[in-house]
Amino acid sequence: MAAYVYILRCSDGTLYTGWTDDPVRRLKTHGAGKGAKYTRSRLPVELVRLEEYNSREEAMRREAALKKLSRKEKLELIAHG
């Protein structure tokens, strides 16, 4: 089963990182204000990066690594794909 790590840009310019097995459903959930508590008050959100992995474990490890990056590093990753 594929798993995905994603980065959202919130309306206030902040970035949110998460993982999911269904990115379309997860983005809809965030957009409806029913996603993570962090994004609820920062709508609308925009998907700016999506990475696919072979397992939940890989995606969760990548999510944890991305969350340790600085904002500058995340922006560079988004800009340079």
The domain locations on the chain are 3-80
pLDDT digits (tens, 9 = 90+) for 6-17: 999 999 999 999
Phi, psi dihedral angles at 57 (to 5 degrees): -60, -45
Distances (CA, A) of 66 to 33, 70, 71, 79: 23, 9, 10, 15
CA torsion sign, 34 to 38 to 43 to 48?
negative
Give the separation between CA 53 and CA 21, rounded to whole angstroms: 10
pLDDT higher than threshold 90 for residue 81: no
pTM of the model: 0.94
Give the tens place of pLDDT for each residue, 18-65: 999 999 999 999 999 998 999 999 999 999 999 999 999 999 999 999
What is 3-80's CATH topology? GIY-YIG endonuclease (3.40.1440)
Q: Quick check: 60 and 46 in contact, CB under 8 A?
A: no
